Amino acid sequence: MKNTLPQFYSVFSIDCVLFGFDGGELKILLIERNEEPFKDWWALPGNLVAQDESLDESATRILYELTGLKGVYMEQYYAFGDVDRHPQGRVVTVAYYALLRLSGDKTPKPVSDFAKNAQWINVNDVPKLAFDHQKIYEKGLEKIKRRIKHQPIAFELLPEKFTLTQLQQVYELVLGKKLDKRNFRKKMLNFGILKDLDEKQKGVSFRAATLYKFDKRKYTKLFGKEISF
Amino acid sequence: MKNTLPQFYSVFSIDCVLFGFDGGELKILLIERNEEPFKDWWALPGNLVAQDESLDESATRILYELTGLKGVYMEQYYAFGDVDRHPQGRVVTVAYYALLRLSGDKTPKPVSDFAKNAQWINVNDVPKLAFDHQKIYEKGLEKIKRRIKHQPIAFELLPEKFTLTQLQQVYELVLGKKLDKRNFRKKMLNFGILKDLDEKQKGVSFRAATLYKFDKRKYTKLFGKEISF
């Protein structure tokens, strides 16, 4: 690498794209930046990678510092390296994502001064984001849209027993569009991956809906189709 | 980023993992390095990203400089960032991969002095590699193993008309194991994705085998199974 500096000088960062479903809304975790550039802007939780940490370690640390969240399993999905993506120099960022079922203990709160606020925000209300974070976020959204069509992630976001209305809502939120109720139910039931529990919703005064459970064995058989030897 | 240097100083690089099938063998494209560190070692074609190029542009340039190959569509698949992966400092590398059908015009020849040799090498004869390139290569191999079970890439590596023996060979090479002939044929034919061309191999003196074609429509129907609305 001799003689290659400053031509190859650069820094790299991590950005975290966390989607959360709270039973009613699909949300994305954002911070309000407390530092230049883009001070006071909304952004994905992200910061520079330190010299002594691996990318995975860095992602875990950064998420914790900026949002207080711990123990979230994130997966690396893409490195963004457009030349002009950062106004202060060349910064390549490695993006990580996760899709979570939100419960009370997932309330975010920054630990470091780098962020002055952290919040789960409805994906329909995402504000203008710093840097190229809109692009990074959209690629993350594409990723979960593809996954929900091929993998049983919808079921990980629901309680063990759920109604078809709840299931449809998860699909509509992730795919970002209304689905025809009759068609959705027909398709879902035809796949044969739902177990009718012969049990109704409780605590509902009128027209309690049937509860279903996800039949993982059948699901795997249907969608895990592969040429295996 | 003020006051963050030198803590966050780093460089990043691209490494290319190109697999090639020449009709008989599965090969990987390697170079012999002409520069320190790891001078004279075999390595993946890889080098540092310049300040004025995006990651995709860099991958294309580096592959060309080190191997002479052009027009290869590569996909980014993972960023490797272990702290000690490079002996001279922190270097995060973004890996790209491709799987090609090799023909005469894919003979590699370095354009830059950085490599003194470039060669397609049988995956069973991969020498000791520089840096963490063994790990990068293995993750690339896993990637194509998963893909060959879910996507029609095996067929892209074969001529339009092929025999079941040729098809089995591709699977055996990519999966790295012998498959039972009878079982393989039964499974493949049962999938209903092969079109019997009612035609025999030509230029074979004895026991000419039946030629098949890939039925893309049926394949898509079978493996493209997804919950689509």
Give me the half-sphere count of Cα atoms (radius 13 Å) on the Cβ side of residue A135.
10
Q: Return the ∠ at Cα B27 (arms to B21 and B29), rounded to 5°.
A: 115
Give the pLDDT of chain B (229 residues) as one tens digit per residue.
Answer: 333 334 455 689 999 999 999 988 999 999 999 999 999 999 999 999 998 899 999 999 999 999 999 999 999 999 999 999 999 888 999 999 999 999 767 799 999 999 999 999 999 999 999 999 999 999 999 999 988 877 778 888 888 899 999 999 999 999 999 999 999 999 888 888 899 998 888 887 778 899 999 988 887 777 666 666 5
ipTM rounded to 2 decimals: 0.85
Instruction: Decide if B162 contacts B197 (C-beta within 8 A).
Output: no
Higher pLDDT, residue B216 or A183: A183
Residue A31: both structure tokens together: 């911070």
pLDDT value, residue B3: 35
B contacts of A9 (beta carbons < 8 Å): 9, 11, 51
B contacts of A82 (beta carbons < 8 Å): 54
B9/A11 Cβ within 8 A? yes
pLDDT digits (tens, 9 = 90+) for A19-59: 999 988 999 999 999 999 999 999 999 999 998 899 999 99
pLDDT value, residue B6: 45
Share the mean pLDDT of chain A.
89
Alpha carbon distance B69, B31 (integer Å): 12
Alpha carbon distance B216, A196 (integer Å): 36
pLDDT value, residue B9: 56
Q: Which residue of A has its CA nearest to B77?
A: A78
Question: E strand or H helix at B30, and its extent?
Answer: strand B26-33
Domains present along chain B, CATH in parentheses:
11-141 (3.90.79.10), 154-223 (1.10.10.10)
B149/A226 Cβ within 8 A? yes
- CB-nearest to B54 from A48, A83, A150 is A83
Q: Return the ∠ at Cα B52 (arms to B49 and B57), rounded to 5°.
A: 60
- CA distance to partner chain B, nearest, from residue A162 (Å): 18
B150/A81 Cβ within 8 A? no
Average pLDDT of span A162-189: 92
pLDDT value, residue B227: 62
B contacts of A187 (beta carbons < 8 Å): 227, 229
